Amino acid sequence: MKNRLDLNSKVKNLRKIILNTAFVAGSKSAHIGGALSCVEIISILFFKVMRFDKKNIQDPNRDRFILSKGHACLAYYAALAEKKIISIEELKTFEEDGSNLLGHPVMNKSIGLEQSTGSLGMGLSIGLGQALASKKKKLNFKTFVLMGDGECNEGSVWESAMAAPNLKVENLVAIIDRNNFQQTGKSKEIMDIEPLKEKWIAFGWNVNVVDGNNIADLENYFDKLDYKKPNLLIANTIKGKGFNFSENDNSWHHGVLSKKIYEDALIEIE
């Protein structure tokens, strides 16, 4: 129970960091909604599941994390700050000229950014390559790829989905942040991807579905995960999770926080 309480504390801290970083960014705006929806997923990965910390940040056997939905980078940066890999002060440079922390991740392994992402559909291909390299080099790491559900409109996702079981990369875990929105509207109305679970099963993946905003459900999933073939987790989430102003409101896919909204949100999270 103590570990779960610690993880819920991390979730709260990450949401506060996302809120603060987005507010400091001011008129440059930020992808708030998709960052908030995946906070629990990133928390369970960075603070329980993955072998990844400041000490082993360039160890060949560290676990890899690929944020394929690169626009949600504020959640990624928040986790790196919470792990003391980057500083809160550095977060204040978000989207500034010369910053390491841009609007989509730019590869910088010295601070834990494994790959440049944001061109949607590419993350699973990269993760597949890294998982395959781990096996060929006889290294002992797992690769975790976090994608968006709107991103599954991309054909490259399905090429990788078909290839991974054929290549027997049992050290690959893909996670779909199923928040039901993408940039311009509801995912179902733009390009319906259902039946999602059955599609991935047909390709040969081990597939599970959980509440992606529930730490207990996520913890139970990863505790029991069987690494015998590629795993896919469909994580049902709420876009903008955590704040009344943003939950299920797609106008916060990318937006600018006013001082009033920011102050009200700080009160709400406390």
Three-state secondary structure call for residue 140: coil
pLDDT at 98: 95
pLDDT at 188: 96
In degrees, rounded to 5, the angle at the alpha carbon of residue 65 between the alpha carbons of residues 89 and 134 is 135
pLDDT at 28: 79
2-269 falls under which CATH superfamily? Thiamin diphosphate (ThDP)-binding fold, Pyr/PP domains (3.40.50.970)
Is the pLDDT at 2 greater than 60? The verdict is no
pLDDT confidence band for 71 (50 / 70 / 90): very high
**Reported pTM:** 0.97
Segments making up each domain of the chain, as ranges: 2-269
Is the pLDDT at 65 greater than 80? The verdict is yes
- 171-198: per-residue pLDDT in tens? 999 999 999 999 999 999 999 999 999 9
- d(C-alpha 19, C-alpha 25), whole Å: 10
Quick one: tokens of 80? 């790196």
Three-state secondary structure call for residue 232: strand
Which carries the bigger pLDDT value, residue 217 or residue 29?
Answer: 217
The percentage of residues in the chain with a pLDDT greater than 90, rounded to a whole number, is 96
3-class secondary structure for 100-137?
CCCCCCCCEHHHCECCCCCCCCCHHHHHHHHHHHHHHC
pLDDT at 5: 67
The percentage of residues in the chain with a pLDDT greater than 70, rounded to a whole number, is 99
In degrees, rounded to 5, the angle at the alpha carbon of residue 195 between the alpha carbons of residues 194 and 196 is 80
pLDDT at 18: 98
Backbone dihedral angles phi then psi of residue 231, each to the nearest 5 degrees = -110, 140
